[in-house]
Amino acid sequence: MTRTAGPPSQTHDLVLRGGRVLDPETGHDALADVGVTGGTITAVSARPLVGRRTLDVRGLVVAPGFIDMHSHSHDVAGHRLQAMDGVTTALELEAGLSPVDEGYRQAAAEGRPLNYGFSASWCQARMAAVGGLPHGGGMHAALGLLGNPAWQREATGTQVDEMLELLRLDLAAGALGIGVVVGYAPRVKPEEYLAVSRLAAESGRPTYTHARDLVEQFPDVPIDGAHEIARAAAETGVHAHYCHITSTSRLHSDKVMRLMDDTRAEGGRISTEAYPYGAGMTAIGAAFLAPELLAATGLTPDGIVHAATGERMANAERLREVRAEDPAGLAIAHFLNEADPFEQSLIDRALLHPSTVVGSDAMPLTWTNGRPDPLAWPLPPTAVTHPRTSGTFAKVLRRYVRELGALTLLEAVSRSSFGPARILQDSVPAMRRKGRVQPGCDADLIVFDADTVTDRATYEHSTRPSLGFAHVLVGGVPVVQDGTLCLDALPGRPVRA
């Protein structure tokens, strides 16, 4: 098969020679040369291509770079860890940013290894309009205020209007939809969630939701968190993306997946995402980590580990103290036990469901000495995070393709690249050129060894980069070369609606 954009004799800037080329959209899975010129794939050909530069990738897989729909890792250090895990586009959609332009401007000014993009943040808009708190300040400001009750309180009609106006401005600025972490303010009125969904639907962009609690967890919740998402899709026509479905559904994941299937069958536009770990990570001051609420969701204080100190919460009293001292401090929360076969099977089933894409929920680094050094590489031991930041995508290849044989390589690659591109492309046309290895598409490409690619990050050693990705190209520019990070490479471009 030959699929070339220009004449066969064309000389490409770069030729990836003789790899096993996977294109999830067409199902192509065969040996081929891939030509790249500038930032674009210029040929995929079974016959040898001519390049000014040639990389011999025989024995390796050539695939579209992974598109992470759920990355809170906005800085260079976080992007580097994700690049080593095969990611070429890291999008902040669940939390989002408001004002969204702040995020785009900062990333453009500083430069980023990976492509980046942001949704509008319901939470930051609410912090300003309802909480009377400062508007903006990025992810760190948002994490700092996440546990502050001021923004979680009931809103007046005028306040909701003000908040919607801020979100409207963000959508006009190119936000990729609206991130709604309603699970962090679980007492807000269901009407407000519907109004936000309606605004997103009107703009033709999705919502990305961290669901509120389920009725099984809290019988008095204003509306069941899963039902709320299904209802919004049905009543407003919004495309509702259900973030990290196991981390909020926990023991009820099977039931929630079925409800989403039913909603889709009735015409609702629902997409789902999961990561392959049984623990979450968030600000220890988050509403749902209050000691008196843990039991209902199956958590215990000793399942919560403060990242900055490594301290496991001995009891409810200690948890209360740490929440008061360092509400923005990140903590690992073990909500499903990976050592328990049944609980692990819930994660597996959600991840293997045909409609699920892989999203890492990559977190910002915590610096245990209090002195961030985001340009240091390799990362010093004072940088810690959740292993999902470093290892999600390689873990999917290791566990589900190689160890369990539950996914073909093409399926696993599809869930990590083409799947997210397809979810986004109706509202973000730029995504039609991503997640594919076809002439005319963006040269966001990864080259890896399918037999050895593996995650190495653990809860104890959370910033160990994955191994096995030989080359990672972002817009044709190497950010990883021969398995080594390119320290100066900042080819990341903004993705906007």
Q: In this complex, which beta carbon is closest to Zn ion, that of residue 26 or of residue 148? A: 148
Q: In this complex, which beta carbon is closest to Zn ion, that of residue 79 or of residue 210? A: 210
> Hey, which residues between 282 and 341 contact Zn ion (CB under 5 A)?
none
Is residue 72 at the binding interface for Zn ion, with CB under 5 A as the rule? no
| Stretch in the footprint of Zn ion (CB under 5 A) among 172-180, 204-212, 260-268, 448-456 | 204-212
| Stretch in the footprint of Zn ion (CB under 5 A) among 46-54, 143-151, 208-216, 479-487 | 208-216
* Minimum distance of Zn ion from residue 159's CB (angstroms): 24
> Hey, which residues between 210 and 249 contact Zn ion (CB under 5 A)?
210
Residue 160: CB atoms within 10 Å = 20
Cα torsion 367, 278, 339, 318 to 10°: value is 60
Taking CB positions, which residue lies at the least distance from Zn ion? 210
* Minimum distance of Zn ion from residue 245's CB (angstroms): 11
* Minimum distance of Zn ion from residue 217's CB (angstroms): 15
* Minimum distance of Zn ion from residue 374's CB (angstroms): 22
With CB under 5 A, what is the number of residues at the site for Zn ion? Answer: 1
Q: In this complex, which beta carbon is closest to Zn ion, that of residue 184 or of residue 469? A: 184
Q: In this complex, which beta carbon is closest to Zn ion, that of residue 210 or of residue 493? A: 210
Label residues 171-183 b or e (16+ Cβ within 10 Å = b): bebbbbbbbbbbb
* Minimum distance of Zn ion from residue 33's CB (angstroms): 41
DSSP 213: -
* Minimum distance of Zn ion from residue 112's CB (angstroms): 22
Distance CA(159)–CA(436), nearest Å, equals 43
Nearest CA-CA partner of 358 in 268, 455, 448, 475: 455
* Minimum distance of Zn ion from residue 185's CB (angstroms): 13
| Stretch in the footprint of Zn ion (CB under 5 A) among 141-149, 172-180, 209-217, 367-375 | 209-217
Q: In this complex, which beta carbon is closest to Zn ion, that of residue 51 or of residue 147? A: 147
DSSP letters spanning 398-456: IIIIIIS--S-HHHHHHHHTHHHHHHHHTT-GGGGGSS--STTSB--EEEE-TTT-B--
| Stretch in the footprint of Zn ion (CB under 5 A) among 45-53, 116-124, 207-215, 463-471 | 207-215
Instruction: Give the list of residues 6+ apart from residue 263 with CB closer than 8 angstroms, or none.
Output: 230, 233, 234, 270
Which residues face 470 on adjacent strands?
none
Q: 339, exposed or middle or buried, with CB in 10 Å at 0-12, 13-18, 19+?
A: exposed
3-state helix, strand, coil in the chain (%, to 5): 35, 25, 40
Distance CA(296)–CA(318), nearest Å, equals 19
Q: In this complex, which beta carbon is closest to Zn ion, that of residue 362 or of residue 447? A: 362
Which residues are near Zn ion by CB under 5 A?
Answer: 210
